Amino acid sequence: MNRELPKVYEPQEVEGRIYKMWEEHGCFEGHRDPDKKPFTIVMPPPNVTGQLHMGHAMDSTLQDILIRFKRMQGYAALWVPGTDHAGIATQIKVEEELRKNEGLTRYDLGRDKFLERVWDWKAKYGGRIVEQQKKLGASCDWSRARFTMDDGLSAAVRHVFVTLYNKGLIYKGSRIINWCPHCTTALSDAEVEYKEKPGHLWHIKYPIQGEEGRYVVVATTRPETMLGDTGVAVNPNDDRYRDLVGKTCILPLVDKEIPIVADEYVDMEFGTGCVKMTPAHDPNDFEVGLRHNLESIRVLDDDGKINENGGKYQGLDRYEARKVIVEDLERLGLLDKITDHTHNVGTCYRCGTDVEPLISAQWFVKMEPLAREALRVVNEGEVKFVPDRFSKTYTNWMENVHDWCISRQLWWGHRIPAWYCDDCGRMTVSETDPTECEHCHSTHIHQEEDVLDTWFSSALWPFSTLGWPAETEDFKYFYPTDVLVTGYDIIFFWVARMIFSGCEHTGKPPFHTVFIHGLVRDDKGRKMSKSLGNGIDPLVIAEQYGADALRFNLVTGNSPGNDMRFYTERCEAMRNFANKIWNASRFLMMNLTIDRCELPEHLELEDKWILSKLNSVIPEVTENMDKYELGVAAQKVYDFIWDDYCDWYIELTKSRLQGEDAEAKINAQKVLCYVLTHILKLLHPFMPFLTEEIWQALPHEGDFLMLQRWPEHHVELDFPEEEKAMEMIMDAIGAVRTRRAEMNVPPSKRAHLTVSTLEQEVFTAGIPFLKRLGYGSDVTITGVAESGSDADQAAKGMVTVITHAARISMPMAELVDMEKERARMEKELGKSRAELEKLNTKLHNPGFVNKAPANVVEAERERAEKLAALIAKLEEQLQAM
């Protein structure tokens, strides 16, 4: 017996119950099947510290839509979930908690005890975001959930590190790196965000040694680093300074001789054409220093304070030191001038602190050899970006990539598997913890303190989660994965690193498609952030409107690669859509006496129309889904459900459902049920909870809608002629109803309809619909020649509407009180003309047009156009009367 649906759809009651049912029955599990083609997605692992935000909701929804779609298409679908240990973010969070609750630092606890606290924190809070993802319907195989510091994944990290080290692709060296004084760790180039900030250029005089009164003037944005200057560089082609090359100058405040060198790097047009060289604090100066054997002197410590090499400025914060140094230069008469200068300042992606370039001994990955293959697979189309424009973003970055700094000065993370010998000083790199030095066999060894960049482990995610480096059955079946769904903001952080890692370690790129989505912004177009206080909690929205409404809002507002604005009001519209489907389903259930949803042998005109429309929309939606045009696909499903099925087909069948003909009643039920089950399948990837709940109440075979086959096109259900005929009738009904609404005629007031058409057979078949839905008291079908002209019709007191296939006339007297309607329309016409005249006066006033904001002027022009159209329509209607 079919289950009756409650009067009101309550997503809060349905969603948790449905999700639990899916989970308990193993609906999300991905299994190897030799008879099926695999389809694999790995979830971009959210930070274990994370709480679901709207970006996560977007990312998760798009992946879930794809995996549900492919599962229904018959693929062995696997969606691998997991979380990332998020080195910096997690350590900072635990340190803050420790300091706040116990007044302790990590150093008070020591490394081992501190890491115990982090693992405890992870056990307590690490599953929070997983539970939140479930509330949005994420159909991941949770039995395969992984964490980037799981034993198997950690073993993969060590294997990769040792392999690359033995190939000479990982090395340790002193180079300029990006340093965050707040997080006190090195950062890779990708972790530095550049922000345009107002600043200054300080022009400083460096006296020439032995030439009284002669100076070179250097311009710098960071006067505090001059304490570490070891040279001044000029361009060898610069005639102004040619005679100074090879001489020395005096470094102000430090009173030390430094050489003047010639180097092509120097831009003669910028500043004074003289550049101070601080090899320990600038990447370009570092390279110049190597070419000219300049000393590297680091003058900042890890906290951004001047160190012992800074003389009397030692202990001052870098910005305090800047102020004091400028004052001292001015006092000594060595400050030539200060000019305003806007420049890009590197900031830490995590905390926003200004990054300090400084020389440091760190671990690096040589990128140039790895980038070659990663570029080839994209350039040759083995990996495609959707939209394609992001492939250019990727290739530009990879063609200019620098060596990757992979060491981080943290305790939480994968500790670098390198051990130093206390006796011979040499290093042992090993996948397993050694007990002795591999060189001198001393047991006095200690491990590297640093950990690996978090992105080092997540770069292996598509294959380490499947058991690699072991040749597991899962790895052989599910790898390479199919599509990566992610935002454009982590193409460099993660996408590029996965591609070169997959190519290097497995011989195959990790996926064939990178589906890029944009950011979810607020309704004003601003990025959502804590500082602006404009973040929207997706769980609050889901609780208020239902997860399905939130999902549908996110996907219909989305086009690949583009940012979208989030409007809460649209969730209300999507909830109304859910209610529309629910009410349509309830209507069918209340009229349902059949126990199988199958098509009848005999089909009426309206049945063939809806089946033909359904048969057209199925391949279109499928093609859009295959092209990752998920927003377009969702809109087509929405339009078919709302316009064709709910607003038209249900209305077209009501007379049969409520009539006395038993066979006609059963046939209408069968088509209604057949179309609804297909609608639910098409809609399921987008609105999984609602569709599963309705499907469970309908006659069905199988246990779950989510495991049903995706609808396919059936050529025998193409009825182009009947579809065309039915739409002629519908156009006529629509035109009549529109004109009646314009004239404020209530549905209860019926009128005789005269249809003049060349398609007399079609409209004769449509008479029942014209009478019931076009509010016709009676219907007469005539040929075109019999109807007369529009003027003739108007003279006879007829209201005429025209479609591409027919002219439909209605006696005006049967619809309205002519005098009252004429008076009403003339009043509206006069009011509209006066308003338009006032508006045109405003728009012809140069004071308004030139001074008002462009959007205001444009809005007024649009209002004028609408008024002009309304006036024309009113005049036409009055003339017809």
Residue 465: inside a domain: yes
* pLDDT over 90 at 791, yes or no: no
State pTM to two decimals: 0.85
* pLDDT over 60 at 59, yes or no: yes
* pLDDT over 90 at 551, yes or no: yes
**Residue 232 sits in a domain of what CATH number?**
3.90.740.10
Say whether both 469 and 602 belong to one domain: no
**Residue 603 sits in a domain of what CATH number?**
1.10.730.10
- 730 φ, ψ (degrees, to nearest 5): -65, -40
Beta bridge partners of 427: 420
Say whether both 385 and 241 belong to one domain: no
Say whether both 204 and 330 belong to one domain: yes
Residue 654: inside a domain: yes
Residue 526: inside a domain: no
Segment 522-539 shows an average pLDDT of 86
Q: Which secondary structure element, helix H or strand E, spans residue 516, and what is its range?
A: strand 513-517
- Alpha-helix residue ranges (DSSP H) falling in 103-191: 106-109, 111-125, 128-135, 151-166
Residue among 790, 787, 791, 809 nearest 735 (CA)? 809
Say whether both 762 and 800 belong to one domain: yes
Alpha-carbon span 757 to 809, nearest angstrom? 11
Q: Which secondary structure element, helix H or strand E, spans residue 361, and what is its range?
A: strand 356-365
Say whether both 777 and 869 belong to one domain: no
Binding residue per annotation — 276? Answer: no
Q: What percent of the chain has pLDDT over 70?
A: 98
Q: Model confidence over 128-138: pLDDT tens digits?
A: 889 999 999 99
Q: Model confidence over 337-379: pLDDT tens digits?
A: 999 888 888 898 778 889 999 888 999 999 999 999 999 999 9
Q: Model confidence over 227-282: pLDDT tens digits?
A: 999 999 999 999 999 999 999 999 999 999 999 999 999 999 887 899 999 999 99
Find the angle CA(102)-CA(48)-CA(302) to the nearest 5 degrees: 60
Overall number of domains in the chain: 6
The sign of the dihedral angle between the CA atoms of 128, 132, 135, 137 is: negative
Alpha-carbon span 404 to 187, nearest angstrom? 9
**Residue 841 sits in a domain of what CATH number?**
1.10.287
Say whether both 77 and 152 belong to one domain: yes
- Position 1 scores a pLDDT of 46
Q: Which secondary structure element, helix H or strand E, spans residue 631, and what is its range?
A: helix 630-639
Q: Model confidence over 569-596: pLDDT tens digits?
A: 999 999 999 999 999 999 999 999 998 9
- The answer to whether 695 touches 21, Cβ cutoff 8 Å, is no
Residue 210 burial (CB count, 10 A) = 11
Beta strands in 530-616 (DSSP E): 564-565
Per-residue tokens: 295: 């000393």
Say whether both 579 and 438 belong to one domain: no
Say whether both 39 and 83 belong to one domain: yes
* pLDDT over 90 at 4, yes or no: no
Residue 85: inside a domain: yes
Q: Model confidence over 289-318: pLDDT tens digits?
A: 999 999 999 999 989 999 999 999 999 999
CA distances 821 to 357, 600, 744, 797, 868, Å, are: 79, 48, 9, 13, 21
Residue 534: inside a domain: no
Say whether both 639 and 593 belong to one domain: yes
Q: Model confidence over 853-872: pLDDT tens digits?
A: 888 888 888 888 888 888 88
Residue 530: inside a domain: no
Residue 14: inside a domain: no
- Position 785 scores a pLDDT of 53
Buried b (16+ CB within 10 A) or exposed e, 532-570: eeeebebbebbeebbbbbbbbbbbbbbbbbeebebeeeb
- Position 272 scores a pLDDT of 87
Say whether both 743 and 687 belong to one domain: no
Residue 79: inside a domain: yes
Domain ranges, residue 108: 31-169+367-415+454-517
- Position 561 scores a pLDDT of 87
Q: Is 285 helix (H, G, I), strand (E, B) or coil?
A: helix
At residue 184 the predicted structure's pLDDT band, cuts being 50, 70 and 90, is confident
Segment 824-836 shows an average pLDDT of 87
**Residue 122 sits in a domain of what CATH number?**
3.40.50.620
Say whether both 145 and 119 belong to one domain: yes
Say whether both 157 and 233 belong to one domain: no
Residue among 460, 482, 468 nearest 76 (CA)? 482
- 523 φ, ψ (degrees, to nearest 5): -70, -10
